[in-house]
Amino acid sequence: MVVKAVDFVVGIRGRVRGLFKRKPDPFISRLQQQGALSVQGAEALTAYMGKPSKKNAQRVRQLEKEADEIRRILVDELNRTFVTPIDREDIHILSRAIDDILDDTWFTINEMDILDVEPNDFLAEMAELLRRGAEEIALAMDRLSEHPNVASSHAIRARAVTNEMETLYARALADLFREPKELDSVVNMLKLREIYRHLFHAGGRIGDAANTLDDIVMKFF
């Protein structure tokens, strides 16, 4: 009898806690979906750098389309919702920054495929930095509601990745312009410069997302 009574009380407490448990916010959930897709896109880009293939390129394209659809839904819901858990402008800015990470990932892999650019050590390293940064943003989104201070720490790590990307971008350009100046070499330099630029911009979007996350934590948590 005692055991049954204890089980009954524990069950009641669990149901009561369930009644008052905060439901997942739909906007945070959409942002989390975007973050997860950006990680998958960066992983596909990293795989492409190791083994260029049409399959890996199409994988990023499909992920980019899925992310665009999620963003369209988020914006539509935002326009139809009067009260939001965090500032609607912050939601919009953060969503756009995360979406731009995957956009620049797609631009990178698409132009490499079209321009027939072979991966090199700089591109592989930049892709890995992008993967790390996207992962930190996704982790920050996952922790935002329940553990905002942990989310902020992931945002700090994401900004550190952005700084690494800036340094690596400068090194890549410096190395590029040390190549011989024959015509074929110049054409290859121009192609690589465009690819480097897309990855550099993707790193910048990671920094933008991290800054917005910090603003959200400071204002609402």
One-letter amino acid at 27 equals: F
- Look at residue 111 and give its three-state secondary structure: helix
For tokens 């790193």, the residue is: 203
Residues 43/131, Cβ–Cβ less than 8 Å: yes
Residues 204/130, Cβ–Cβ less than 8 Å: no
Taking only the tens place, the pLDDT of each residue in 73-104 is 999 999 998 888 788 999 999 999 999 999 99
DSSP 51: S
Q: What is the pLDDT of residue 109?
A: 94
In whole angstroms, give the CA distance from residue 185 to residue 193: 12
Token output for 211: 């800054």
Taking only the tens place, the pLDDT of each residue in 132-157 is 999 999 999 999 999 999 999 999 99
Task: List the chain residues with pLDDT less than 70.
Answer: 1-24, 179-184
Q: What is the pLDDT of residue 4?
A: 53
Q: What is the pLDDT of residue 108?
A: 96
Q: What is the pLDDT of residue 60?
A: 92
81 Cβ partners below 8 Å, 6+ apart?
Answer: 88
In whole angstroms, give the CA distance from residue 145 to residue 19: 18
Q: What is the pLDDT of residue 84?
A: 83
Domains of the chain: 26-220 (1.20.58.220)
- Angle, to 10 degrees, between the axis of helix 88-115 and the axis of helix 121-143? 160
Distance in Å from the first CA to the final CA of the chain:
45
The predicted model scores a pTM of: 0.86
Q: What is the pLDDT of residue 18?
A: 44
Q: What is the pLDDT of residue 7?
A: 53
pLDDT averaged over the chain? 88
Q: What is the pLDDT of residue 20?
A: 40
Residues 48/56, Cβ–Cβ less than 8 Å: yes
Q: What is the pLDDT of residue 21?
A: 45
Q: What is the pLDDT of residue 81?
A: 86
Q: What is the pLDDT of residue 101?
A: 96
